[in-house]
Amino acid sequence: MSESAEVHDYLVALARNVEGITSKLPATVHATVGIRHGAVYTEVRGPRWGTFTLVQGSEAPETVYDGQYIHHHLIGEGMEDQLEHTQDTLDEIVDFLLSDRILTEGTSRILRRRYLSMPLADGDEWRFRWFNPR
């Protein structure tokens, strides 16, 4: 089997597993899973806020908010690490979407870069940095 066929098979298996995870989300949260550009894309939308997109298939999966803000995660190799990251990330996103917490925009003090802060249930936060996708 060629490397590209192995990668495709891996992405198909990852997408199937992610679909299994998203099928258990609450009814008010909608998710779609697909393979594009050599990665598995999971788009999550709830009753409020924009769309969160998980870009998976590498050791540095991304979470993108509304196509403008990005947050990188570093994880280990392998399918199990991908699935654990997916479950944890979706849990945090769903919890946020169904809560009364709000996203806040800010600017870093030193470099003056725009970011979006998403408060998590445990008091921590994810900082999404602004990027220009064009």
Per-residue pLDDT of the chain (134 residues; tens, 9 = 90+): 566 888 899 999 999 999 999 999 999 999 999 999 999 999 999 988 889 999 998 889 999 999 999 999 899 888 999 999 999 999 999 999 999 999 999 998 888 888 999 999 888 888 899 887 65
| pTM of the shown model | 0.88
Residue 101: which of 131, 68, 84, 123 has the closest Cα?
Answer: 123
β strands within 1-134, DSSP E: 30-36, 39-45, 52-56, 62-65, 69-72, 104-107, 114-119, 125-130
> What separation, in Å, do the N-terminal and C-terminal C-alpha atoms of the chain show?
36
